[in-house]
């Protein structure tokens, strides 16, 4: 039987989807920008069918934590939300391990779009993540942030930050930028899914990162990139099923 509980973990509103056993491996699944935890229950259900327990947190200013801000205001908070999600992941992990709900060495991370970006930053930040999946994410925090700033400027939008504040934000992002610290992966299982026609999170920088780290993996089967030629910024059913397969393959042993 699969059970769903609405709980707070380290003060963060989460859905906790439980599979066969409370001692099963735990996967944290992070939602995308302007989404919420409930929107990824289909991932959690299929993972729970395989025996995993899945935790879906609401990111800051999203879901139960929303303050009603519109998308334009939220866009200016994007990286603040990502960094906060990574640090909150650390706090949630500490709580579930201390409660005996999760084993330190059997915690996975996955997410879509902003959640994929969060996952890749978390892999840089935390060596205890066992397995990761990035769906439409980017590891290149600094490069992606600079591209976002250029997009804002081209569209005549004035960022509510000074140049000094922007520079400070970019320095913070360097600390979470997996593309600048690829050695932090340390051969951990990682799968990417990305559509080539994605106009929100560009495909090419992520694929270039994958190619750059491929040779460093001693066990090539632990690294995978799934490309869908005609897909844009929406994960297909194939991406969903491959995510489940990836965790089943690498986290059940």
What pLDDT shows up at residue 44? 98
What pLDDT shows up at residue 160? 66
Mean pLDDT of 174-193: 96
Q: Quick one: what percent of the chain has pLDDT higher than 70?
A: 94
**pLDDT-derived band of residue 253, with 50, 70 and 90 as boundaries?**
low
Instruction: Report the C-alpha dihedral over residues 21, 7, 79, 151, rounded to 10 degrees.
Output: 90
* pLDDT (tens digit per residue) in 148-167: 887 766 766 666 667 787 78
Q: Quote the DSSP letter at residue 155.
A: T
What pLDDT shows up at residue 247? 97
CATH number at residue 178: 3.40.50.1820
Question: Domain limits at 41?
Answer: 3-251
What pLDDT shows up at residue 163? 76
What pLDDT shows up at residue 14? 98
* pLDDT (tens digit per residue) in 55-112: 999 999 999 999 999 998 898 899 999 999 999 999 999 999 999 999 999 999 999 9
173 contacts: CB under 8 Å, gap ≥ 6: 79, 83, 141, 142, 145
Q: Quote the DSSP letter at residue 234.
A: S
Mean pLDDT of 123-152: 93
The answer, yes or no, to whether residue 249 has pLDDT greater than 80, is: yes
Alpha helices in the chain, H assignment, sequence order = 41-49, 71-76, 78-98, 114-125, 141-154, 163-174, 203-214, 237-251
Higher-confidence position of 164 and 228:
228
**Structural element, H or E, at residue 13:** strand 12-18
CA distances from 153 to 77, 150, 160, 186 (A): 16, 5, 12, 38
How many domains would you assign to the chain? Answer: 1
99 contacts: CB under 8 Å, gap ≥ 6: none
User: Contact at 8 Å (CB) between 31 and 39?
Assistant: yes
Higher-confidence position of 154 and 9:
9
């Amino acid at each position: 039987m699969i059970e769903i509980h609405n709980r707070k973990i380290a003060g963060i509103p989460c859905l906790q989807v439980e599979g066969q056993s409370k001692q099963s491996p735990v996967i944290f699944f992070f939602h995308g920008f302007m989404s919420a935890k409930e929107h990824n229950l289909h991932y959690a259900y299929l993972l729970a069918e395989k025996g995993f327990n899945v935790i879906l947190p609401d990111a800051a200013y999203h879901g139960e934590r929303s303050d009603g801000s519109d998308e334009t205001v939220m866009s200016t908070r994007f990286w603040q939300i990502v960094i906060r999600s990574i640090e909150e992941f650390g706090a949630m992990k500490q709580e579930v391990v201390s409660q005996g709900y999760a084993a330190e060495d059997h915690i996975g991370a996955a997410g879509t779009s902003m959640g994929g970006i969060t996952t890749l930053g978390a892999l840089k930040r935390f060596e205890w993540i066992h397995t990761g999946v990035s769906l439409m994410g980017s590891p290149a925090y600094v490069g992606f942030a600079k591209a976002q700033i250029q997009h804002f400027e081209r569209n005549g939008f004035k960022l509510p930050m000074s140049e000094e504040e922007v520079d400070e934000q970019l320095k913070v992002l360097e600390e979470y930028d997996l593309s600048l610290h690829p050695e932090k992966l340390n051969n951990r299982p990682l799968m990417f899914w990305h559509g080539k026609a994605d106009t929100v999170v560009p495909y090419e920088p992520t694929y270039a990162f994958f190619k750059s780290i491929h040779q460093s993996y001693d066990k090539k089967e632990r690294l995978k990139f799934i490309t869908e030629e005609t897909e844009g910024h929406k994960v297909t059913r194939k991406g969903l099923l491959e995510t489940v397969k990836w965790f089943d393959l690498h986290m059940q042993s």
